[in-house]
Amino acid sequence: MAVYVWRGITAAGKEVKGVRDADNQKALRALLRKEGIFVTEMLEEAQARVKKARDVDIARYFRRVSPLQLALATKQLATLLRSGVPLVESLSALIDQMESPELKGAFTQARDNVNEGSSFHDALAKHPAIFKDLYVHMVAAGEASGTLELVLSRLAGFLENQSKLQNKVTGALVYPVVLLVVTFLTLAVMMTVVVPKVTAIFQSFRQALPWYTRALIATSDFFTDYWWAMGIAIVGGAFGFQRWRNTPKGRERWDRLMIDLPVLGKLNLMASVARFARTLATLLTSGVPLLNAMEITRNVLGNVALMQVIEDARNSIREGESIAEPLKRSGRLPPIVTHMIAVGERSGQLEEMLENVADSYDQQVDNQVNVMTSLLNPVMILVLAGIVVCVIFPILMPLMRINEFVTGR
Would you say residue 236 has pLDDT above 90?
yes
Q: Which pLDDT belongs to residue 240? A: 92
- Whether residue 283 lies inside any domain: the answer is yes
Q: Comparing C-alpha atoms, which of 74, 67, 64 is closest to residue 139?
A: 74
Q: Which pLDDT belongs to residue 54? A: 43
Q: Which pLDDT belongs to residue 7? A: 78
Would you say residue 139 has pLDDT above 80?
yes
Residues 128 and 269 in one domain: no
Residues spanned by the domain of 53: 2-62
**Is the CB of residue 314 less than 8 Å from the CB of residue 295?**
yes
Last residue of a domain, one of 19, 45, 62: 62
Residues 15 and 143 in one domain: no
3-class state of residue 321 by DSSP: coil
Q: Which residue has the higher pLDDT, 206 or 145?
A: 145
Q: What is the C-alpha separation between 201 and 131, in angstroms, rounded?
A: 65
Q: Which pLDDT belongs to residue 232? A: 92
Residues 226 and 370 in one domain: yes
Q: Which pLDDT belongs to residue 29? A: 79
Model pTM?
0.62
Q: Comparing C-alpha atoms, which of 52, 264, 75 is closest to residue 163?
A: 75
3-class state of residue 16 by DSSP: strand
- Whether residue 188 lies inside any domain: the answer is yes
Encode burial over 291-329: b for 16+ CB neighbours within 10 A, e otherwise. Answer: eebbbbbbebbebbbbbbbbeebbebbeeeeebbebbbe
Confidence of residue 58 (pLDDT cuts 50, 70, 90): very low
Give the chain's largest Cα–Cα span: 97
Average of per-residue pLDDT across 105-130: 88
- Whether residue 173 lies inside any domain: the answer is no
- 135-144, 285-294, 323-332, 394-403: which has the minimum mean pLDDT? 394-403
Q: How many CB atoms lie within 10 A of CB 365?
A: 23
- Whether residue 286 lies inside any domain: the answer is yes
Would you say residue 5 has pLDDT above 60?
yes
Would you say residue 234 has pLDDT above 80?
yes
3-class state of residue 350 by DSSP: helix
DSSP symbol at 401: T
Residues 36 and 73 in one domain: no
Q: Which pLDDT belongs to residue 19? A: 80
Residues 320 and 380 in one domain: yes
Would you say residue 332 has pLDDT above 90?
no
**Is the CB of residue 188 less than 8 Å from the CB of residue 388?**
no
Give the tens place of pLDDT for each residue, 66-106.
888 888 999 999 999 988 888 889 998 888 888 888 888 88
Q: What is the C-alpha separation between 169 and 160, in angstroms, rounded?
A: 14
Q: Which pLDDT belongs to residue 49? A: 55
Residues 153 and 205 in one domain: no
Average of per-residue pLDDT across 328-350: 88
Q: What is the C-alpha separation between 289 and 158, in angstroms, rounded?
A: 18
Q: Comparing C-alpha atoms, which of 119, 99, 101 is closest to residue 110?
A: 119
Average of per-residue pLDDT across 346-364: 88
Q: What share of the chain is helix, strand, coil (3-state, %, to 5)?
A: 80, 5, 15
Q: Which residue has the higher pLDDT, 402 or 247?
A: 247
The CATH number of residue 314's host domain is 1.20.81.30
Total number of domains in the chain: 3
Within 261-349, where are the H helices? 264-285, 290-301, 304-318, 324-330, 335-347
Q: Comparing C-alpha atoms, which of 104, 135, 102, 103 is closest to residue 121?
A: 135
Residues 42 and 92 in one domain: no
What one-character-per-residue DSSP string does 220-278 give?
HHHHHHHHHHHHHHHHHHHHHHHHHHHSHHHHHHHHHHHHHSTTHHHHHHHHHHHHHHH
- Whether residue 83 lies inside any domain: the answer is yes
Last residue of a domain, one of 62, 79, 100: 62
Average of per-residue pLDDT across 150-155: 84
Residues 144 and 231 in one domain: no
Residues 338 and 220 in one domain: yes
Q: Which pLDDT belongs to residue 203? A: 65
- 39-43, 98-102, 134-138, 343-347: which has the minimum mean pLDDT? 39-43
Q: How many CB atoms lie within 10 A of CB 231?
A: 10
**Is the CB of residue 404 less than 8 Å from the CB of residue 223?**
no
Residues 367 and 390 in one domain: yes
- Whether residue 176 lies inside any domain: the answer is no
Beta bridge partners of 2: 22
- Which residues lie closer than 8 Å to 53 by C-beta, 6 or more apart? none
- 20-29, 219-228, 324-333, 397-406: which has the minimum mean pLDDT? 397-406
Average of per-residue pLDDT across 343-363: 88
- Whether residue 47 lies inside any domain: the answer is yes
**Residue 281 Cα distances to 273, 305, 360, angstroms:** 12, 21, 14
Last residue of a domain, one of 62, 92, 111: 62
Encode burial over 111-150: b for 16+ CB neighbours within 10 A, e otherwise. Answer: bbbbeeeeebbebbbebeebbbebbbbbbbbbbeeeebbb
Residues 132 and 82 in one domain: yes
Residues 52 and 90 in one domain: no
- Whether residue 172 lies inside any domain: the answer is no
